[in-house]
Amino acid sequence: MSNPDPDAERKARNGRSIAIALGLAAFVIIVFVVTIIRLGGNVASRPF
């Protein structure tokens, strides 16, 4: 059993890295949006 082509291995690793980065970015955006929605207008009316 020989190792796969190093270029193919690098491409697969890059693909996984991009997928993880996109997933993480989507998670951060979802958390941000949900936080803004839950806080609603209370942010603007809070005292300083």
Q: Output the pLDDT for position 48.
A: 65
In a domain, 2, yes or no: no
Tally of domains in the chain: 1
In a domain, 46, yes or no: no
Q: Output the pLDDT for position 6.
A: 85
**What are the pLDDT tens digits along the chain (48 aa)?**
556 688 889 999 999 999 999 999 999 999 999 998 888 867 667 676
Tell me which amino acid residue 41 is: G
Please give the Cα distance from 11 to 5 (Å, whole number): 10
Tell me which amino acid residue 15 is: G
Which residues form the domain of 34?
13-40
In a domain, 19, yes or no: yes
Q: Output the pLDDT for position 5.
A: 83
In a domain, 17, yes or no: yes
In a domain, 25, yes or no: yes
Cα dist from 4 to 7, 19, 21, 25, whole Å: 9, 21, 25, 31
In a domain, 35, yes or no: yes
Q: Output the pLDDT for position 42.
A: 73
Cα-flanking dihedrals φ and ψ of residue 5, to 5°? -55, 130
In a domain, 24, yes or no: yes
Global pTM value: 0.67
In a domain, 32, yes or no: yes
